[in-house]
Structure 1
Amino acid sequence: MQWPDWLWSRSPKGADDKQREAPAQDEPPYRLAGSWEKNMNQTDWSHYTSPQAITASVVTTAATLVLIRLYKTYLRRIPSVDYLKPGLFRRRSLYGYVTSVGDGDNFHLFHTPGGRWLGWGWLPRRRVANMKKLKGKTISVRLAGVDAPELAHFGKPAQPYGQEALNWLRSSLLHRYVRAYPYRRDQYDRVVCTVSQRRWLFFKTDVGYQMLQHGLATVYEAKMYSEFGGKEEQYRAAEARAKERKIGMWQEPGLLGKMLGRQKSVESPREYKTRMAALEKNAKTGHAK
């Protein structure tokens, strides 16, 4: 009977231990670094520091920041004048839906960023006409560069053509979409804006300019909060043409108008306000005496 060779072979002392410690040449790499369990719990940072991983991270972060900036600048709705930042004036426009017209030269605007492209006016939850409790969610807008005749309020009498100016503005803007170009905030927390309205798809009309053409307003004459958006000469020319044509508030009073006390000389809204302020001052002085 032949005995196995290993029984007769002799190795130097400690050779078996060295052989067990020395890895084989064809042994897998994970056996060289340690046990299988140990390698499973280690993190291979080379995957995160590769050029491809760094590039993907930078592109993703940049795209996220751009989208956030885009939303905050163009897509976030501005609920009221208190949310208008100074950086918006003279740089951006506000597209919105006119919810009410309170006077011949001001109205309330519900901001609808993105317009119809983002569903305003046709998606169920974005139909402004069906919304309730709009109080506190609109921006008060004052037409820039024009001054309409005053209505009766606070015990003061109405000016001629004050109601006509209000009716015209309501018929032109109420429950319609307009674009407003803001310039500043006035003393009554209104935003002074040039307002345009799209007609026949491609054409835009300047609402203030149209009021001057129809003789329903004068060029704004007050020194404070006067803004024209670079259209002062155009506005003054429109007012001059309305005077020449004697239309609107510039027309000669008829027999009925004369019976009602209307004079030939037209009192502008600025002159009316100055006269009313003088009367109030005299009345207070008289009471004080």
Structure 2
Amino acid sequence: MPAIPWPAGWNKGEPPEEIQGLISRAQTNLNAIPIPVLALSAFALGSITTVSGTFVYRRYFRRLQNGDWVTPDVFAKKRWVKGMVTSVGDSDNFRFYHMPGFGWRWPLKFRLVPSVAKDLKDKTLHIRIAGVDAPEAAHFGKPAQPYSEESLAWLRKEILGKTVYCQLLRRDQYGRIVSIVTLPPRFLPESWASGKSLSLEMLKAGWVTTYEQAGAEYGKWGKEEFLRVENEAKAARRGMWVNGTTAESPSEFKRRYAQADSSDTKVVDKRSSKTNEKTPASTGKTGWFGRLFSK
């Protein structure tokens, strides 16, 4: 075994004179510092270390357990998060398991995404894909819109069990997190390039339309690009446009049933108002007992 090249003055376990001199000067300089200044410096260094460590943990390692963990500052910063899609319930939303930091992949895989439904309860974010509107599934007694099953099957095939990136934008009226969703880049490392927009891929396949209601978000691509891709799918008769562009859009479908529900409510209100009109029996002044107290 080769000998370690210690300085010539190093023998019998004692440091050389040069090192002893450095240690002595350091001790002298340290003793010259007033104790309050030394304590304040140590406190400041500890505080900076704690704050920096907390920031790094919250930004890169803390897992967002569910929607309640997404605070207003996260929306204000439009933060990007990475995770796995654990379920797809409708054609424009899904459940997302946040996977921050590292340790989720080989060769450093020591963190696992639960695979059992009960273990995922209250552990995922409900994501609403921004910028698109999918055919409506059967809900609340309403029938399913044509092509809703095909649209759902396409989305499940594309993202279920896979990693996606979500830019968290806001919370909608149903408590879902509206997000710009991108797929991982196919060839380049994830830190070098961003993947394709999931919304544009859905529009290209012809299974959704562009969402144009108030508050719609389209990311860096813009509304014009969304409409262009949708029109290309219509021209090529892909997806729901296989029979032409005369098919009822999701927004038209929802508007039609909303108007029908409004009409039914008005009819019920008219009937209930008639039944609430006062009658002689409701006044309590019928019969000889009522006439006695009415005088």
Shift of 1:73: 2.3
Q: Distance in 2 between matches of 1:121 and 1:274?
A: 45
**1:127-138 alignment runs, 5 A limit:** 127-130=112-115, 132-138=118-124
Partner of 1:95: 82
Residue matched to 2:98: 111
Q: Using the TM superposition, give the Cα deviation of residue 58 of structure 1 relative to its aligned residue in structure 2, in angstroms.
A: 3.3
Shift of 1:162: 0.8
Structure 1 equivalent of residue 275 of structure 2: none
Cα deviation for residue 124 of structure 1 reads 7.0
Partner of 2:262: 281
Structure 2 counterparts to residues 218-257 of structure 1, below 5 A: 218-223=209-214, 225-230=215-220, 231-252=222-243
When residues 210 and 53 of structure 1 are mapped into structure 2, their CA distance, relative to the original with a 3 A threshold, is: same
* Structure 1 segments unaligned to the other structure (5+ residues): 1-44, 254-263
Is the CA contact (8 Å cut-off) linking 2:85 and 2:162 kept in structure 1?
yes
Per the TM alignment, residue 287 of structure 1 is displaced from its structure 2 partner at its CA by 3.1
Larger radius of gyration: 1
Flag as ranges the 4+ runs of structure 1 deviating above 6 A.
45-48, 50-53
Q: Say what the alpha-carbon RMSD is for the aligned residues.
A: 2.5
Matches within 5 A, 1:27-176: 49=35, 55=41, 57-89=43-75, 90-114=77-101, 118-121=102-105, 126-130=111-115, 132-176=118-162
Q: Secondary structure at the match of 1:198?
A: coil
Confirm or deny: 8 A CA contact 2:131 2:199 kept in the other structure.
Answer: yes
Q: For the Cα contact (< 8 Å) 1:48–1:54, is it kept in 2?
A: no
Task: Name 1:267's counterpart in structure 2.
Answer: 248
Gaps (5+ residues) in structure 2? 1-30, 189-193, 272-295
Question: 2:195 maps to which residue?
Answer: 204
The 2-side partners of 1:190 and 1:62 are apart by 36
Amino acid at match of 1:120: W
Residues 132-151 of structure 1, C-alpha deviations (whole Å, 9 max, x = no match): 52111111000000001111
Q: 1:57 deviation in Å?
A: 4.8
Give the aligned partner of residue 195 of structure 1: 181
Separation (CA, whole Å) in 2 of partners of 1:201 and 1:187: 38
SS in 2 for 1:128: coil
Q: Secondary structure at the match of 2:243?
A: coil
| Superposed displacement of residue 194, structure 1 | 0.7
- TM-superposed CA distance for 1:227, in Å, is 1.6
Query: For residues 82 and 59 of structure 2, what CA distance do their matches in structure 1 show?
Result: 13
CA distance in 2, matches of 1:216, 1:172: 12
Q: Is the 8 A contact 1:98 1:107 kept in 2?
A: yes
Between stretches 50-59 and 234-243, larger displacement belongs to 50-59
1:236 to partner: Cα distance: 1.0
In the superposition, the TM-score normalised over structure 2's length comes to: 0.72
- Structure 2 CA distance, aligned partners of 1:50 and 1:153? 69
